[in-house]
Amino acid sequence: MNAPEDARRDRFDAADAADDVRHLPGLSEAELPFHGHRRIKEHLMRETAGATRPAGVFSRPARVRSRRTRGLFLAAGAATCAVALAAVLGVHGSDGPPAAARPEPAAVRLLDRVALAAQTAGAPAVRDGQFLYTRTVGHSTSLSETANGDMEAARTDESAERWVSVDGAAGTLTRTTGGESTDPVSGTHKAGINSPTYRFLETLPTDPARLLEVIHEDTLLNHGAGSGSTTGPDQQAFVAIGDLLRTTEAPPGVSAALYRAAARIPGVVLIPEATDAAGRHGVAVARVHKGERTEWIFDEQSLRLLGERTVLLKDSSWGKAGTAVTSVAIVGRGVTDVAGAVP
């Protein structure tokens, strides 16, 4: 691992979690929620301080497994740490991976910092009949079969502007290089986890454990045992939360709860450095599934969500290891009275 990457990870791996919070302007330890949980986390950090720090992910993707095993505890405190981790993180256990894949402590702390920043942000002043505007830039990748039977990967421009109806009465207007579309048809919008409106997001619980239960109810139904899905409920929960955070702005309390809910999903890890589709550098949390790493990228200073990308960890028909097969960056947000108008 090179020195800059090592120093960047040390910023999030320090045993004193309170020091992380002091980097957030305007926040003091006295303002933090869940003080008891934080003390348990700090105890957990002390117990695991002797573990070997994992190698960098970007330089050697094959070493992801070593990072995922960092949750293994020293024998002297194994029982105590396991109980503390379960109590703090509320790990989803029925279909979850073994203890080695539990959320990485550094990723949990980063998500907690991001949640605190989201919680202190002002709620957008919206009313029914208005639209939440989001502009994104980026690409996705598709596979097609060539004449000789080989599979060929091709990029698709995913840059778009979206106007999501606050109350769902007018549906969502999407504008891309290919034109405009409204989906669903005005007046027929049924909001849900996969098609949220601001009013729907306001109804979600702000308790992270309960919120994750709500999300898992949907992912277990469509991606659980017997569904035929190869994604699995935990990976789909991580994807669903990322979609909710990226596609439309949520009330501050709900945004904070979504980040803390994500910190309870097994397999979540810290990526010290990542670049979004707009070329902006940041720090990320991620989850690995079937040779691909889904990353949420945050600005290091403001902790604002910059974007999301999916990176290949091994060569395949989709591309070489290290290729971002999907990358979308958020470059604009606001509130408008008319769909199609830019704030």
Query: From CA 338, how far away is CA 234, in angstroms rounded?
Result: 37
Do residues 294 and 269 make contact, with C-beta atoms less than 8 angstroms apart?
A: no
The mean of the pLDDT values for the chain is 76
Write out the DSSP string of 176-195: ETTEEEEES-TT----BTTB
In this prediction, residue 5 has a pLDDT band, given cuts at 50, 70 and 90, of: low
For residue 191, the model assigns a pLDDT of 82
Q: Tell me what the mean pLDDT of segment 287-308 comes to.
A: 96
Is pLDDT at 69 greater than 90 in this prediction?
no
Q: Are 281 and 271 in contact (CB under 8 A)?
A: no
Query: What pLDDT is recorded for position 120?
Result: 92
Which pLDDT score is estimated for 146? 82
CB atoms within 10 A of CB 193: 18
For the stretch 88-128, pLDDT in tens is: 333 333 344 444 378 999 999 999 999 999 999 888 889 99
Considering only 20-24, 256-260, 292-296, which range has the smallest mean pLDDT?
Answer: 20-24
Half-sphere exposure of residue 166, counting CA atoms within 13 Å on the CB side?
15
Strands 172-176 and 305-312, sheet pairing:
unpaired
Token look-up 């960047």 returns 8
For residues 98 and 305, the model is more confident at 305
Beta bridge pairs of residue 285: 270, 296
Question: In the predicted model, what is the mean pLDDT of residues 25-53?
Answer: 40
Q: What does the pLDDT average to over 74-80?
A: 37
> Sorting pLDDT into bands at 50, 70 and 90, what band is 222?
low
Q: What φ, ψ does residue 297 adopt, rounded to 5°?
A: -105, 130
- In degrees, rounded to 5, the angle at the alpha carbon of residue 255 between the alpha carbons of residues 325 and 107 is 60
CA gap 201, 255 in Å, rounded: 9
Q: Supply the pLDDT for residue 259.
A: 98
Residue 9 confidence class, pLDDT cut points 50, 70, 90? low
Domain ranges, ordered by start, for the chain: 3-336
For the segment 285-295, the average pLDDT, to the nearest whole number, is 96
The predicted model gives 238-261 an average pLDDT of 94
Kindly report whether the global pTM for this prediction surpasses the value 0.75.
Answer: no
Residue 279 pLDDT class (50, 70, 90 cuts): very high
- Give me the pLDDT at residue 221, please: 73
pLDDT of residue 224: 64
pLDDT at site 195: 85
How would you class 309 by CB atoms within 10 Å of its CB: exposed for 0-12, middle for 13-18, buried for 19 or more?
buried
Name the residue among 51, 50, 127, 44 with its Cα closest to residue 91: 44
The share of the chain scoring above pLDDT 70, in percent, equals: 66
Tell whether omega for the bond before 184 is within 30 degrees of 0, i.e. cis: yes
